[in-house]
A and B are shown apart, each in its own frame.
Chain A
Amino acid sequence: MTALLEAKDVVRTYAAGGKGRLRAVDGISLSLAPGETLALVGESGCGKSTLGRLLMGFDRPDRGQILFDGQDMARLSSRALRQTRSQLQMVFQDSASAFNPRWTIGSALAEPFRIHKRPFSRQSVEDLLERVGLSGSFYDRYPAALSGGQRQRLNIARAIALSPRVIVADEPVSALDVSVQAQIINLLRDLQTDMGLASLFISHDLAVVRQISDRIAVMYLGGIVEEGETLSLLAAPAHPYTRALSTPCHSPGKLSVSLCREMCRARFRLLQAVGFIRGAPELSLDAQSSDQSWRKNRVNIA
C-alpha cells in the first residue's frame, strides 16, 4: 500500500540555551498507510509531539520531507496547504484549552465548515455531536458545561467534522479517568472503522496503545528505536527500551500485586541500566543521582 502520510529522514532542532541545538526529531522516517493506526510511543521529551506537529504541517522540518499523498507539504502554496489541512486533523490532549470558552459548542463545531467554506446546517452539527455520543442539545451550551470525557468527545467531533483522511491524536486519553478512557478508546476505534480513518496515535501508555493501534513506533531521544506490528512487537520487544516501557504495571487486575511491584522496580532498574533515565541539562540534579546508580548497575548487567 502506498503511504498516505510519510516522513522522510526528518530533522527538527531547537536552540538550546547558549551553545548547541536540541535535536528534538533526529532523522526520522515513518509512513502511515490509508486506514492504518500507528502509535507513536515514548516518554515526554522524546520528541513525539514535535513529530506530530511536523506531520500536521504546524511546523517545518530543518531537513527531510513530510509527504501527504505524495506531495511535499513544505512546497505547497498556502492555498494548497489549506486544502490539505482539511484532510489532516488533530485531537489535542488538553480538551479544556482546545476550545474558546466564550464560543458555544455549536459555533466551535461549525468553525471548520466556515473556514473551509463547506455547507453546513444546525442539523448537520447536531448530527456530528450525536456521532461522537453527545446529545444534540449541547449545541447552544458552552464547553464549560461539559465533563472532561464529554469535552474530549467534542474535540474528536471537531476533528472529524470535515471527514479527514488522517487524524493525529496527541495523548487524547491520558488526562481521563479509566472508565471514561475506555469509552473514548471505543469511540476512536469505531470512527476509525466507520470512516476508514488513518491515525497517528501519540501516547506514553502501552496498554492503551495495544488496544487501539495496528502498528507501533517506539521513540527515544528524537529517534525511532523500534517499529513493528502492535501485538507481535509487544509480545517480543527487541529493544531494551521497549522492554522497559512495556513492563505491565498498567493492568494490576491481571497480576499479583507483588509481581507488579517487582516488575516496576525491574523496569526502573532496566531504564537506569541502559542509560535511558535522561540527563538533559535542565534535569542535571536528577541526573546526578541516577547517574551514579546506573553506572553501578550497568557494570552489574555488563
Chain B
Amino acid sequence: MAGEALLELEDLRLDHEKAGVLLDGVSLTVRRGQVLGVVGESGSGKSLTGLSVLGLQPKGRLSGTMTFAGEDLTRFGSRDWRRFRGRRAAMIFQDPMTAFLPVRRIGAQIIEQIRLHKSVSRQEARKQVVSLLTRMGVPAPEQAADRFPHELSGGLRQRAMIAMALSCDPELLIADEPTTALDVTVQAQILTLIREIGAREASVMLITHDMGVVAQSCTDVAVLYAGVVVETGPVTEVLQTPLHPYTQALLRAIPPMDGPRPERLPVIEGVPPSPETRPAGCVFAPRCPQVTSKCAVRPSMRGEGLHRVACVLIA
C-alpha cells in the first residue's frame, strides 16, 4: 500500500468559539489506492475531520496543515472550494434519503452535478449517469435514473449516492457512515463496492464507528479519540496488535463470538472529556488504566513504519 500521499493532515486543530476545541491534533495520511478507516466514538471528531477536508467545517479557527496532492487546502478561497468539492473530493452520507432532493429524479440530480463541473451536453451527461449506475451495480440503470429517491431501496439509494459522488472522477471519496442505516446483507454489498472503488477508482476515507466495518473494507485505519488521532496504521496490524490503550479497550468492549462468555464485558470507565475538562496532556489519560506521571504531557505520534501511536508507553 505504498502509494503516494494524496491527502495529508498534519496537526489539524479546530477551535469553535462556543463549543471549544473540536479537533485537537488530527494527523493522518490518505494514500492513493487506499481505503482509510477513520474510526471513533460519537463526538470524537471523525465527521468533522471529513467535513474539514471539504472546507465545510463549522466556523472556527482552523490551524495545522491540510495538503491535497501538493495543494494547500487551508489557503483555499470560496472559489477554489467550489471547484474542489465534488470534482476532486466528494462525500457520501449516512442517509441517502436526505442527501438527495426528494422531488427530482435521481438521474437529473447526477446530471446537474456532472454539468456543473464538466462542459458536456445533457445527452452526454445522461450517458455517463447510466454508465456510472451500471458500474455501481444498479440493475436496470436506465430505469433507475428516472426514479425518484423514495422509489429506490436503501441499498440502491446508497449506490446512486456513490454514483453521484464518483460522477466527476474525484481522487478522494469521503464516506461518512455509509452503511449505518442499512441491513447487514446490504451493508456487505456496499462495503464490497467501496473496497473496489478504493482499489480501482479513488482513494477512500471511510468514517465509521464500527470496527467490524473497518475490518471488512479498509486497508488502513486511524483511531480518533476526543479530536485526536491516537493510533494509525495498516488495518491488520492495528486490529491484531493494538498499541494504544484506547484502541485496546475499544476492541475488548466488543462481545466475543467464541470462547467463554465473560460475566461482564470490560468497559472503558468514565466519559470522553468535555471542553471544560479537556486534559492538557494525553486526552485519554483520565480514563486510561495504564496512566503514568508522564501522561501529563501530550504525546506525539511515534512508532516504526506505518503503524504509529500517540502514547508514552510506546518507545
Contacts and interface: CB of A to CB of B under 8 A. Distances in A.
Interface of A: 43-45, 147-148, 177-183, 185-186, 189, 204, 206-208, 210-211, 231, 234, 245-246, 248-258, 260-261, 264-265, 267-268, 271, 276-277, 282-283, 285-286, 288-289
Given A186-B267, A206-B257, A251-B256, 13 more contacts: A179-B250, A182-B255, A207-B257, A210-B261, A211-B255, A234-B257, A248-B258, A251-B257, A252-B214, A283-B153, A285-B153, A286-B186, A289-B139
Contacts of A254: 256-259
A296 to B, nearest CB: 15
Nearest to A245: B184
Contact of A260 (B140, B215, B249): B215
A185 B255 contact: yes
Name the prevailing secondary structure of the A interface residues.
helix
17 contacts: A177-B41, A179-B41, A186-B265, A186-B267, A207-B256, A210-B255, A210-B256, A245-B184, A249-B216, A252-B251, A252-B254, A253-B240, A254-B259, A283-B153, A285-B138, A286-B139, A289-B138
Contacts of A253: 211, 239-240, 242, 251-252, 254
Interface in B100-138: 137-138
B3 interface: no
B235 to A, nearest CB: 6
A250 B265 contact: no
Contacts of A211: 255-256, 261-262, 265
A207 B254 contact: yes
A264 to B, nearest CB: 5
Contacts of A231: 261
Contacts of A285: 138-140, 144, 152-153, 156
Interface residues of B, number: 50
A248 B215 CA distance: 11
Nearest to B251: A253
Contacts of A255: 215
Contacts of B265: 182, 185-186, 211
Contacts of A277: 185
Given A183-B267, A234-B257, A268 B189 contact: yes
B257 to A, nearest CB: 4
A178 B42 contact: no
Nearest to A204: B184
Name the prevailing secondary structure of the B interface residues.
loop
Contacts of B268: 179
B264 interface: yes
Contacts of B19: none
Looking at B138, B139, B211, B262, the one whose CB has the most chain A CB atoms below 10 A away is B139
A66 to B, nearest CB: 27
Nearest to A44: B183
A257 B218 CA distance: 10
Interface of B: 41-43, 137-140, 144, 152-153, 155-156, 183-186, 188-189, 192, 209-212, 214-216, 235-236, 239-240, 242, 249-259, 261-262, 264-268, 271
A129 to B, nearest CB: 16
Contacts of A288: 139-140
A257 B255 CA distance: 17
Contact of A179 (B144, B152, B253, B257): B253
Contacts of B188: 264-265, 267-268
Contacts of B262: 211
B91 to A, nearest CB: 22
B255 A251 contact: yes
Given A185-B265, A207-B255, A43 B139 contact: no
B273 to A, nearest CB: 13
Contacts of B254: 178, 182, 207, 250-253
A234 B265 CA distance: 19
B34 to A, nearest CB: 15
Contacts of B235: 257
B261 to A, nearest CB: 6
Contacts of A261: 215-216
Contacts of B252: 253
A63 to B, nearest CB: 28
Nearest to A258: B236
Nearest to A267: B188
Given A43-B185, A285-B140, A289-B139, A182 B266 contact: yes
Nearest to A190: B264
A20 to B, nearest CB: 19
Nearest to B264: A186
Nearest to B262: A211
Contacts of A265: 188, 192
A18 B178 CA distance: 33
A183 B184 CA distance: 23
Looking at B189, B214, B242, B265, the one whose CB has the most chain A CB atoms below 10 A away is B265
Contacts of B258: 248, 251, 254
B257 A268 contact: no
Nearest to B268: A179
Given A178-B250, A252-B212, A282-B153, A189 B257 contact: no
Nearest to B141: A285
Nearest to A43: B183
Nearest to B211: A252
B268 to A, nearest CB: 5
A100 B16 CA distance: 30
